[in-house]
Structure 1
Amino acid sequence: MVTEVTRRISILGATGSIGLSTLDVIRRHPDRFSVYALTASTRVEELAMLCREFKPRVAVMADPGAAQTLAGLLSDLPDIQVLSGMEGLCLVASAPEIDTVMAAIVGAAGLLPTLAAVRASKRVLLANKEALVMSGKLFMDAVAEAGAELLPIDSEHNAIFQCMPVDKIRDPAGAGITRILLTASGGPFREHSAEALRSVTPSQACAHPNWSMGQKISVDSATLMNKGLELIEACWLFNTTPERVEVHVHPESIIHSMVEYADGSVLAQLGSPDMRTPIANGLAWPERIDAGVAPVDLFAIGRFHFERPDLVRFPCLRLAAEAFEAGGTAPAVLNAANEVAVAAFLEGNLCFADIPVIIERTLGATAVEPADSFEVIFAKDTEARARAREQIGLLTV
């Protein structure tokens, strides 16, 4: 019989899709998991409701004004401490009272608190791919130095993790692994012409056919930049190169990724397109627990389809591979430019088809430097954002 052990968890990004899915899994297993801290950026009322249900010790709002409002809403719950800003986020990510951190803050904003969790030797459930994309080797070195436990939560990387021998995660060649087959849904515009992509609206881009996700990652999925970021993430997580990672567009989103072995075997992880599966895997690993996910009905699906990504209509995947090959601060520039471009698109200030244009121009206008410190990476992130805004201004004049 398995002895049940309660894990104390801080959830960074509790009001986002990953955070809410994490809380749903925790809700199903109150004897195994308890919530120490919940954080959000500006969604005060949503976080207040979650605090009333899960009774964390600490609640953090990234925005100081929002933290004041939250403290007022929770004034009748004096046992919940309300903190704010990056200092508060890093504090709950590294608190001695916890052993697990769900790193689900979207974008570059998640790097410092995720790094704080790593340096405090926590089990880090990594759903913030941008942190690893930006800082690559520095981040993985920090994991090794601190002895942190890094478990991938992106459905694709979690699938790869499940298909590899545990002791060979950082040595795929030593396990006889020849390729990683990274699947992609293709997004909602897989069959759109280049001309049709110019008229895509934010609401259309956020309506993913298979997954329920936040706005930013939904747009990234639609441009295939999400797959580009995942390509970089896979290279760092599994110590490999883009030449050994092949992207397969799989519209059904049932096979979440595959691993090819030297003997011709291909191991695949299948499941419904529901993030609670990889979240439950990370929370309970190496055990398996109920995640509330419906089983896959293979008879209803009938057949699977695969196709190669179209790098002409969707060049973001190519840009990501090139940034990884360039090395240094190039992936941080890629990420920063993408975040600025996506925000401009969502605000109605940029055409969907021009997102990769801004990214490519920003990469060309920003010098690559050795990524030998986090200070350099953050400085380059700031520079790239300014250059991306300049490029948007030039494009829309």
Structure 2
Amino acid sequence: MIKIAILGSTGSIGRQTLEVVDRFPEELRVVALAAGKNRQPFLEQCLQYRPLIVSLATEEDAKWLKAALAEQNYYPEVHFGLDGLVRVATCEEATVVVTALSGAIGLRPTCAAIKANKQIALANKETLVAAGEYVTKLASEHQIQILPVDSEHSAIWQCLHGEEKTSVRRIILTASGGPFRQMARADLAKVTPQMALKHPNWTMGQKITIDSATLMNKGLEVIEARWLFNLDYSDIDVVVHPQSIIHSLVEYGDGSMLAHLGMPDMRIPIQYALSYPKRWFNDLPRLNLTELKGLTFEEPDLERFPALALAYQAGKQGGAAPAVLNAANEIAVHAFLAGRIGFMQIPEIVEKVLENHKPTGINNLEEILAIDQWARNEAARIISNC
């Protein structure tokens, strides 16, 4: 029996993780859950899965939850806030922690889970973007394997399995291109949040959907891949693949390419991260090759979508720059969703914050969090003057 804790259980990845649990009740058991402010859906999850430890974002919501659960004669540990996330992540009974939070808030509980010797099923890419060197070193010290949940990184992970790292020439991350792949730059300035939230292939949370539309999501994945697979940025390429059937590829020194194909369904990489090294049979929709009308590939347009170039720039600069990029982007995306800035202003604000950042190294988690907060404040300041 694999016992799991889920950080972000009411989000897209969290809900799909629970769908996987439902398919394999003999193999998987939920022992801890944490969510943000979606308290009614979270209550329903708690009553269905009966975890030992639960947490919501605020003390008020936690009190409401505790009372609602008591009415059902159910008395788990109830926590809230960042401390609650850490408590769920370090649940004694859990063997695997699924980090499905959105944003850098996942950093501290993920590190706590590693220190508690929990295997990490990582869907929170911002953790490795903001603190890749620190987190991977910490995982190595505790002999913890970080299992990627993102479809692209899961694909790379699977294509690398059993191969010598020295035989790898490069990895290629595929990007759908988002909903505005063919839109003229002048029209991109008119994009509304409602338009940007309509992804052509995937059903995801708001923040990651906007990141996909700007191609910042692919930039964050480039930085994440650098740390997951210990590669140089020169060995990580991005290609736009609108059909989202090939999830990523590895090119080897002999000219061979291994590609991972499948339906655009996040339950598949989630299941593999939980079942690894086994592959469990399921009843999910299958890819029918004879129904494919074609697989196409394009170079990403960095003029219309400069966020990808900014991510490469920050990654190559190293130090605190990726943390700055990530934090500034989070603030800019939230401002766009609130209607305070335009779509094309998102990368502009990120670039300004990067320009104002004084390059510095990172030695510990507190320094990472301090840089993260500085970048958020700086982005907010710039937005207030827009």
Query: Gaps (5+ residues) in structure 2?
Result: none
1:126 and 2:117 correspond:
no
Q: Which 4+ stretches in 1 moved above 4 angstroms?
A: none
Q: Which residue number corresponds to residue 34 of structure 2?
A: 39
2:320/2:371 contact within 8 Å kept: yes
CA distance in 1, matches of 2:275, 2:48: 22
Partner of 1:142: 138
Aligned to 2:241: 250
How far off is 1:167 after superposition?
A: 7.3
Partner residue, 1:211: 202
Aligned match of 2:186: 195
1:26 maps to a residue whose letter is V
Give me the whole-angstrom Cα distance separating, in 2, the residues matched to 1:164 and 1:303.
26
1:19 aligns with 2:33: no
2:149 maps to 153
Q: Mapping of 1:17-96 within 5 angstroms?
A: 17-75=12-70, 76-96=72-92
3-state SS of the aligned residue for 2:224? helix
The match for 2:294 is 303
Q: Distance in 2 between matches of 1:290 and 1:61?
A: 34
Greater alpha carbon shift after TM alignment, 342-351 vs 157-166:
157-166
* Separation of aligned partners in 1, 2:105 and 2:304: 29
Deviation at 1:81? 2.1
In structure 2, distance between residues paired with 1:372 and 1:315: 30
How far off is 1:77 after superposition? Answer: 3.4
**Residue of 241, 262, 277 corresponding to 2:268:** 277
Q: Which amino acid aligns with 2:236?
A: V
Q: Is the 8 A contact 2:180 2:213 kept in 1?
A: yes
Q: Deviations over 1:336-384 (max 9, x none)?
A: 0000000000000010011000000011012121011111111111111
Contact 1:12 1:19 (8 Å CA) reproduced: yes
Shift of 1:63: 1.8
The equivalent position to 1:241 in structure 2, one of 225, 232, 241, is: 232
Query: Following the alignment from structure 1 to structure 2, what is the Cα–Cα distance between the partners of residues 333 and 351?
Result: 21
> The residue matched to 1:14 in structure 2 has which SS?
coil
Q: Secondary structure at the match of 1:269?
A: strand
1:181 is matched with: 172
Distance 2:103 2:282 in 1: 26
Change (3 A) 1:362 1:249: same
Counting matched residue pairs gives 385
| Helix, strand or coil at the partner of 1:389 | helix
**Deviation for aligned residue 1:166:** 4.7
Q: 1:294 aligns with which of 275, 285, 289?
A: 285
1:65 to partner: Cα distance: 1.6
Q: Give 1:291 shift.
A: 4.4
Is 1:25–1:291's contact at 8 Å kept on the other side of the alignment?
no
The one-letter amino acid paired with 1:14 is S
Quote how far apart the aligned CAs of 1:125 are.
0.2
Verify the 8 A CA contact 2:104 2:126 in the aligned structure 1. yes
* % identical aligned pairs: 46
Measure, in 2, the Cα distance between the counterparts of 1:58 and 1:233: 29
1:117 CA displacement: 1.1
Shift of 1:210: 0.2
Q: Secondary structure at the match of 1:102?
A: strand
Secondary structure in 2 aligned to 1:74?
helix
Matched, 1:320 2:308: no
Query: TM-score, with normalisation over the residues of structure 2?
Result: 0.98
Could you tell me which amino acid in structure 2 is paired with residue 348 of structure 1?
Answer: G
Cα distance in 2 for residues equivalent to 1:82 and 1:344: 32
Per the alignment, residue 267 of structure 1 pairs with 258
**Shift of residue 156 of structure 1?**
0.1
Say whether the 8 Å CA contact 2:69–2:75 is kept in structure 1: no
Deviation at 1:310, TM superposition (A): 0.2
Structure-2 separation of matches of 1:166 and 1:103: 26
**Structure 1 counterpart SS, 2:299:** coil
Question: Which whole-Å deviations, capped at 9, do the CAs of 1:5-44 have from their partners, x for residues lacking one?
Answer: x101000000000000000000011010100011101110
Once residues 73 and 348 of structure 1 are traced to their aligned partners in structure 2, the CA distance between those partners, rounded to angstroms, is 35
* Distance in 1 (alpha carbons) for counterparts of 2:266 and 2:195: 22
- Would the aligned equivalents of 1:155 and 1:275 in 2 still touch at CA under 8 Å? yes
Rounded to whole Å, the distance in 2 between the matches of 1:38 and 1:77 is 18
Matching residue of 2:340: 349
Counterpart of 2:354 in 1: which secondary structure? helix
Once residues 101 and 167 of structure 1 are traced to their aligned partners in structure 2, the CA distance between those partners, rounded to angstroms, is 27
- Superposed CA offset, 1:267-301 (max 9, x none): 01101001000000000001111344211012222
Q: Distance in 1 between matches of 2:153 and 2:218?
A: 11
Match of 2:110 in 1: 114
8 Å CA contact retained: 1:121, 1:149: no
Name the residue aligned to 1:338.
329
SS at match of 1:148: coil
Distance 1:85 1:25 in 2: 26
CA deviation after TM superposition for structure 1 residue 78, in Å? 2.7
Instruction: Look up the SS of the partner of 1:105 in the other structure.
Output: coil
**Structure 2 counterpart of 1:63, one-letter code:** T
